[in-house]
Amino acid sequence: MPLPSERPVSCPKPQVLRVLITENHHTSMAVLTDFLHLRGFTCVSVLTSAQITTELDVEAQHILLFDSALPAITSESLIRALRRKYGYRIGIIVLLPSQDLPPRLAAWRCGADMSLVRPVNFEELDSVIWGLYQRLRLQAVDQSPPTAWMLYPEHEVLTPPDGQRVRLTGAETRLLTALAQQEGQVVSRQVLDEALAPGGLPGDTLRLNVLISRLKKKIKTETGIALPLQTYRNLGYAFQAEVVTTSGAQNSSSHAFYDQTY
């Protein structure tokens, strides 16, 4: 399998996260792909280095989940070639068969961001991918500190401008989505009630107040940052900061059907 061209390229402006999975074991690839789809990630299965470079030229943020046992080429050679071409504008996670130190050191020295040992814990993999994605997202913007909050409804995740991740409940996700859609304008209680219980009976005032109070407390406790959600008496609420809503590939609500490792 030929190595990627080493001619430096300028990566296109990233827009979404795509996870490229190269696996020597086809059954494991299917399990990984299904799990990450259910967590809301866009996944592409690739089997050769040529396919990898073709997919990396798609306009997106990319993380490569790489099998160290890929036939016909050593992982170190491929990682070095990818780093020469794309720099650190892609994330690389290497899957290793054991905890032995030499292969882990080799992976890091040639440019891998992370190495995980089989059996891979799905929660650990999910956290590692998210951490790498935030690094890629933040380094892709201007050098000035980012100011936008990022909302991922399919993942039920909110990240403040510094890239921390907060898991949301379904109700919290629906609330923030309704607020984000109005781009800083005041949203009435009636509109928020409908977002929380579409097609149902209007919610009571206490329920909405408790939800917002708990959400503010959770964000502050987990990130140290105050949620910029302003109350306007007798009018409603407004999210008074830039918030970008990003769509994923699939709904993530079904991930509980998977074992924690493969």
Alpha carbons 62 and 239: distance in angstroms, whole number: 30
Residues 185 and 92 in one domain: no
Residues 180 and 85 in one domain: no
Tell me what the mean pLDDT of segment 53-74 comes to: 75
In a domain, 256, yes or no: no
Residues 39 and 122 in one domain: yes
Q: Name the pTM for this structure.
A: 0.57
Q: What is the CATH number of the domain that holds 131?
A: 3.40.50.2300
Query: Could you tell me if residue 200 is left (phi over 0), alpha (psi between -120 and 50 degrees) or otherwise beta?
Result: beta
Instruction: Give the pLDDT band of residue 240 (cuts 50, 70, 90).
Output: very high
pLDDT at residue 253, rounded to an integer: 32
Tell me what the mean pLDDT of segment 246-259 comes to: 40
The mean-pLDDT minimum among 1-15, 43-57, 182-196, 198-212 falls in: 1-15
In a domain, 3, yes or no: no
Token duo for residue 122: 């799905």
Alpha carbons 62 and 122: distance in angstroms, whole number: 19
Residues 119 and 164 in one domain: no
Instruction: Give the pLDDT band of residue 239 (cuts 50, 70, 90).
Output: very high
Q: Which residues pair with 237 in a beta bridge?
A: 187, 231
Residues 113 and 167 in one domain: no
Residues 207 and 112 in one domain: no
pLDDT at residue 17, rounded to an integer: 72
pLDDT tens readout for residues 2-19:
444 443 433 333 345 778
Residues 122 and 227 in one domain: no
pLDDT at residue 49, rounded to an integer: 75
Domain residues for the domain of 153 are 149-245
Residues 28 and 115 in one domain: yes
**Do 195 and 181 meet the contact criterion of CB atoms below 8 Å apart?**
no
Which value, in Å, is the radius of gyration of the alpha carbons in the chain?
21
How many structural domains does the chain have?
2
Tell me what the mean pLDDT of segment 148-169 comes to: 87
Tell me: pLDDT of 31 over 60.
yes
Tell me: pLDDT of 199 over 70.
no
In a domain, 227, yes or no: yes
- Domain boundary (140, 160, 193) is at 140
DSSP string, 143-205: SSPP--EEEETTTTEEE-TT---EE--HHHHHHHHHHHTTTTS-B-HHHHHHHHSTTSPPPPH
Tell me: pLDDT of 255 over 50.
no
Please provide residue 78's backbone torsions phi and psi, each rounded to the nearest 5 degrees. Answer: -65, -45
Give per-residue burial for 83-106: e unless 16+ CB within 10 Å, then b.
Answer: bebbeebbbbbbbbeeeeeebbeb
pLDDT tens readout for residues 79-131:
888 887 888 788 899 888 888 888 888 888 778 899 998 888 888 988 899 88
Residues 82 and 125 in one domain: yes
Q: When comparing pLDDT for 32 and 69, which is higher? A: 32
Residues 156 and 124 in one domain: no
In a domain, 253, yes or no: no
pLDDT at residue 236, rounded to an integer: 92
pLDDT tens readout for residues 162-182:
777 889 999 999 999 999 998
Alpha carbons 37 and 118: distance in angstroms, whole number: 20
Residues 239 and 221 in one domain: yes
Q: What is the CATH number of the domain that holds 180?
A: 1.10.10.10
